[in-house]
Amino acid sequence: MTEYAIRANSVVKRFGQFTAINNINLNVAKGSIYGFLGPNGCGKSTTIRVLTGLLNPSQGQVEVLGLEIPKQSEKLRLKIGYMTQKFSLYDDLTVLENLEFIGQIFAINGRELKARIAAQLSTYGLNQLAKQRVAGMSGGQKQRLSLAAATMHQPELLFLDEPTSAVDPQNRRDFWEQLFDLSAQGTTILVTTHYMDEAERCHRLAIMEAGEIRADGEPERLMAEMGVNVVEAKAANLRQLKNQLLQCQEVRSAAQIGARLRILIYQQVAQPLEWLKQRFPELAQAELNLARPSLEDVFVSVTGAGRQ
Ligand SMILES: Nc1ncnc2c1ncn2[C@@H]1O[C@H](COP(=O)(O)OP(=O)(O)OP(=O)(O)O)[C@@H](O)[C@H]1O
């Protein structure tokens, strides 16, 4: 039987008249990496704050690591790590001093603290930087320190709010390798992101828009079940063709990628290539191919994106 680290049932959070998250249902399996993908302002951070007990839900039930939230939030605090969007360590302290400080907050002292710091410095490649003040460090180095700090007390569950928005692709890759190491050791991870490639790495994923979960599942399954076929067309006058395609109710979206147009066509059209050629005679000689769906296609097909 699957054990869940997080269960949320019909959770709503309102700020005054404004509903920031609406009827969120969530089951996050223990040890998994669960992604929250969605545009700015769709409610990802609000959801995390409710799940961590920092915000009280307006409605609904939340259970995290077997604790009833917000009632038992204080007990939860010691079992979770939370890396917020903003770098939240001390610029004027060194790497070592930051880790000591965080350790003490979690009541780790003496020999145990020394051992934990040594382990974290080594795991996150910070040995050479131990005596360096944070102010002079690069974005990638700061991010490694943030993860080291968030995992100092070996939390069972880790919340990461857009952890890689300030780092380059190589650092993102390395960061994700660290997340998979943590997951293999049994840590459950909930991570929010804007990046499709990052979302694709998650074991499971929720796509959010305007405070609601629009789709939820394993990335591969979401791609297989999205209800549209993807066609790539290499043709002349792509801008004009795109506008004409968007007038057709059979077309979910069309977007230019280099010299091609990526067209999502609802699956009610059984033969999308033939349909395109019939509907647009100028495509009769064009290069048309069915393409493998991507997560970006799923995102477009389940949200309001892509219709302009
Ligand atoms: N304390 C608050 N009071 C009023 N409105 C809020 C508050 N916190 C968030 N909101 C609103 O709730 C909505 C969701 O915000 P949230 O920060 O959860 O989005 P997000 O998906 O995390 O966005 P981003 O990717 O930009 O961080 C936004 O419209 C935001 O302005």
Q: Is the CB of 20 under 6 A from ligand 1?
A: yes
From the alpha carbon of 55, which atom of ligand 1 is closest? 1
pTM for this entry: 0.90
Identify which of 21, 45, 51 to mutate to test ligand 1's pocket (most ligand atoms within 8 A of the CB). Answer: 45
How far, in Å, from the CA of 17 to the mean position of ligand 1? Answer: 14
Q: Quick one: pLDDT at residue 102? A: 94
Give the position, in ligand 1's atom list, of the atom nearest the Cα of 194. Answer: 25
Q: Would the CB of 41 count as within 6 Å of ligand 1?
A: yes
Residue 163 alpha carbon to ligand 1 centre in Å: 17
Ranges of the chain whose pLDDT falls below 70 = 87, 305-308
Q: What is the DSSP string of 115-156?
A: HHHHHHHHHTT-GGGTTSBGGG--HHHHHHHHHHHHTTT--S
State residue 306's pLDDT score.
Answer: 59
- Nearest residue (by CA) to ligand 1, atom 28, is 41
**What is the whole-number distance in angstroms between the Cα of residue 46 and the centre of ligand 1?**
6
pLDDT on residue 164: 85
Of all protein residues, whose CA lies closest to atom 16 belonging to ligand 1?
43
Ligand 1 centroid to 166 CA: how many Å? 19
Instruction: Please tell me the distance between residue 80's alpha carbon and the centre of ligand 1 in angstroms.
Output: 22
What is the reported pLDDT for 304? 73
Helix and strand counts by DSSP (H, E) for the chain: 11, 14
CA of 240 to the centre of ligand 1 (A): 37
Residue to probe by mutation, ligand 1, list 11, 13, 36, 42, most atoms within 8 Å of CB: 42
Query: Across the chain, where does the E strand assignment appear?
Result: 4-15, 18-29, 33-37, 59-64, 67-69, 80-83, 157-161, 188-193, 204-209, 212-217, 228-234, 251-257, 260-266, 287-290
